[in-house]
Amino acid sequence: MEKVNIAEKLSTFDDHWSPRIIGQLNGQEVKIAKVKGEFVWHDHAEEDEMFLIIKGTLKIEFRNKTVTLNEGEMLVIPKGVEHKPIAVEEVHLLLFEPAGTKHTGKVDHELTQKNKIHL
């Protein structure tokens, strides 16, 4: 049992759309990521996903609306809901999702992370 300094962990990498696992609990992975630009339309058929914004502003497009998340705000996206995150400027975020969740869902894309990275 060790404390985790999120800012310190975020300072260890610069790439975008490549989440790092910083903890696990009850079958969930706690991940941090830096994102910038547009991600791919995707869903998670069996998993809910939670975004918590640490720094910046993230827009999440849905087929029928767009939700804007600012620092300190969070959103839970229910399983099966198609979405596309967009960050005009770099955003730092914290994600909670079940272990084994592929961050692009069933979509295979150049941004799909092939290997899990633990910090």
Q: What are the residue boundaries of the structural domains of the chain, listed by start?
A: 6-118
Whole-structure pTM value: 0.86
Pairing between β-strand 83-98 and β-strand 20-25 as defined by DSSP bridges:
unpaired
From first to last of its 119 residues, the chain has per-residue pLDDT tens of 789 999 999 999 999 999 999 999 999 999 999 999 999 898 888 889 899 999 999 999 999 999 999 999 999 999 999 999 999 999 999 998 888 766 555 555 465 556 676 77
Q: How many CB atoms neighbour CB 43 within 10 A?
A: 18
pLDDT of residue 85: 96
pLDDT of residue 44: 85
- Please list the residues that pair with 31 across neighbouring strands: 21, 95
Is residue 36 within 8 A of residue 99, CB to CB? The reply is no
Is residue 104 within 8 A of residue 112, CB to CB? The reply is yes
pLDDT of residue 1: 79
- In sequence order, what E strands does 19-82 have? 20-25, 28-38, 49-55, 58-62, 66-69, 74-77
Is residue 79 within 8 A of residue 45, CB to CB? The reply is yes
pLDDT of residue 94: 96
For the chain, give the number of residues. Answer: 119
pLDDT of residue 114: 62
Which CATH superfamily, name and number, covers 6-118?
A: Jelly Rolls (2.60.120.10)
pLDDT of residue 107: 52
